[in-house]
Structure 1
């Protein structure tokens, strides 16, 4: 069974349960002991009183009278001392007798065939029992409350280093290479061992992030040279008057692919720097400027496919953002819409929080909708040769910049991507 309570709550519950068990057992022991002792004392007292009252019958010594709270009966006794029928069945010894609404302690003894019964009103005894029960109950409740209070204090003291360690681990600065180790701040106990384990894990994570950043930066940097060669070769081929229209179209297609690859390489280089404060050195543009540039780039491919491109300029804020990353996000979403739309429209709408891209394409299968932003996940495995990295790159850029991207389906088909640019570039 999995517990849903926090560790501090479990400590408090454990203290309360332990107190309930101990205090309950102690209270029941007190009540049982007091009850047993009092019954023994009352039994002994009634036995002595009964021996004294036997003289009333044996020697006719009527100076021995019962106490005011006692009733004395015996077989063949005169008047009120005659043994009532409801007491004749009692065996010798100590009993509890209920007569009408009153209860009595009874001592019975048989001497020479005669039955003697002494009753004593136990109202005082019951009153003492009620007081005892009340005292024990109050003590039980107070002990339970004290246990909860002590458990709360202990839970705070025990959990304080764990909470502090969790707060330090959650802090993003711990991923920086210059972040101090956590273990020296803690004692050599279980929490200290946990801090050592976190230091080791964070160290491996820093190394992995550094390797990934260096790899991405190096690969992206090395790709710039061949891309420049391809772009220059395309320009020279387009200047050749002897090339036919079919060859010119192919060269223009290669040139567009080179430009897209160059922008993608620049995006990877920007992400490889990882630090947002460094992004201020990148070109800054508004959402409208980025949208205008991408519309010029994508209008011909979209309309040549027979699709309608709708643009709603809206009223976006004048904030400026990292142009490279914003181009990558909006461009990848437009490319995704073009890739999965055969008929209908593609709409780009600017909003007061960011922008929205809608299409009338094949949509996203229900079973893949939650995983579409994961690497190598594609909406339809039979369409094109893409690797399913576009939406993953969009998600990564948005997380890096503090933006949010969401995906919803449209009826009867198609999908809508909404991007909120909640953090402007500095």
Structure 2
């Protein structure tokens, strides 16, 4: 069973429980020791007193000489020495007897078939004994309360290095390559070993991130030149008057794919720069301008597939966003809708602070929707040779820019992607 409490609280609970166990054991031990000593001492005294009465008084035919707090009874006695009914049932040995508010210690012996009982008033002793018990219980409670306060202070003191280490690890500057190591700030104990483990892990993480950034930057940069050659070649082919309609359509398709690849390369390059906070000078564009441009770009491909394309620009929005990221998010969602829709329509609706892309395609079961934003995850109706990276790229961009994207369903079939760009969300429709 795993405890859900904080480490400091678990230390406090363990400290208090240990104190309660040790203190409780001592308290019970003291009570038991007092009880045993009481029984042994008083039993010995009563036995000596009974022997004295039998040998020095009864044996010589005298009346028992007793202290004011001691009583003597015999099974064959008469008058004040007759054995009362409430004592006749006592077994041999030592007993504690209570009569109203008075407490007595009784010793029962049997000699030659006769039963003798020696009774001694112990009310004062019992009162002092109860005071002792109360003192022990008060001491136990005070020890637990003291352990609670002391444990709280010690837990905070013990956990302080761990809290400080957690704050250092959590601080975003610790992910920078030039961040100082953590281990030198701590002693060579368990916390120091944890700090060293964090240093080792963060070092490996830095290496992985650097390799990823370099790879993304280098690949994105190197792909620009061949993509520019492709785009220029498509423009030259499009100007060729001897090209028939089928060839011209293929050229346009190549040009469109080249443009999409160029935008994708630009997006990856921007993401690589975003990890180094180098996107402050990135081109900006409004949602209305980007959406209108992409709507015109995708309308032909959507309608050529026999689908109906609905674009609802709504009120013009001029708030600037990162143009490359916004085009990549919206373009990937439109491409995804076209890819998985065979009949019906695709809708692009702009709302204040965001947009909605709906389609009447195959849809995605509710249990699989959350996983669709993970890399290399494709919908149940897998088509083409896609790798399942489009939606993961959308999620990555949204996380980077502080946007949110969610996936819902359209009745009777289809998907509904909602993207909030940080403005006032109004996706009721």
State the shift of 1:362 in Å.
Answer: 0.5
Give the structure 2 partner of residue 330 of structure 1: 330
Q: 1:181 to 1:92 in 2, by over 3 A?
A: closer
Whether 1:77 and 2:77 are equivalent positions in the alignment is: yes
| Deviation readout 1:112-137 (Å, 9 max, x if unpaired) | 66543221244444434433333222
Question: Which aligned pairs between 1:180-191 and structure 2 lie closer than 5 A?
Answer: 180-191=180-191
Q: 1:112 to 1:252 in 2, by over 3 A?
A: closer
Give the structure 2 partner of residue 219 of structure 1: 219
Give the structure 1 partner of residue 178 of structure 2: 178
Question: Which aligned pairs between 1:142-291 and structure 2 lie closer than 5 A?
Answer: 142-275=142-275, 277-291=277-291
Q: 1:316 to 1:37 in 2, by over 3 A?
A: farther
Number of matched pairs: 423
Whether 1:20 and 2:20 are equivalent positions in the alignment is: yes
Aligned-partner SS, 1:311: strand
State the shift of 1:186 in Å.
Answer: 1.2
| Deviation readout 1:253-289 (Å, 9 max, x if unpaired) | 1111111111111111111112474222111112112
State the shift of 1:111 in Å.
Answer: 5.8
Give the structure 2 partner of residue 64 of structure 1: 65
Q: 1:45 to 1:320 in 2, by over 3 A?
A: same
Whether 1:136 and 2:146 are equivalent positions in the alignment is: no
Question: Which aligned pairs between 1:31-46 and structure 2 lie closer than 5 A?
Answer: 31-46=31-46
Q: 1:91 to 1:414 in 2, by over 3 A?
A: closer
Single out whichever of 118-127 and 398-407 deviates more from structure 2.
118-127
Root-mean-square deviation (Å): 2.6
Q: 1:83 to 1:193 in 2, by over 3 A?
A: closer
Q: 1:74 to 1:387 in 2, by over 3 A?
A: closer
Unaligned runs of 5+ residues in structure 2 are 425-429
Give the structure 1 partner of residue 348 of structure 2: 348
Whether 1:407 and 2:407 are equivalent positions in the alignment is: yes
Single out whichever of 11-20 and 212-221 deviates more from structure 2.
11-20
State the shift of 1:83 in Å.
Answer: 2.7
Q: Counterparts of 1:404 and 1:423 in 2: how far apart (Å)?
A: 11
Unaligned runs of 5+ residues in structure 1 are none
Q: 1:26 to 1:316 in 2, by over 3 A?
A: farther
Single out whichever of 20-29 and 307-316 deviates more from structure 2.
307-316
Asked whether the 8 Å contact 1:311–1:348 carries over to 2, the reply is: yes
| Deviation readout 1:190-231 (Å, 9 max, x if unpaired) | 211221221122112111111111111111111111111111
Aligned-partner SS, 2:369: helix
Q: Counterparts of 1:363 and 1:63 in 2: how far apart (Å)?
A: 107
State the shift of 1:31 in Å.
Answer: 0.5
Single out whichever of 7-16 and 58-67 deviates more from structure 2.
58-67
Q: Counterparts of 1:256 and 1:308 in 2: how far apart (Å)?
A: 20
In the superposition, the TM-score normalised over structure 2's length comes to: 0.90
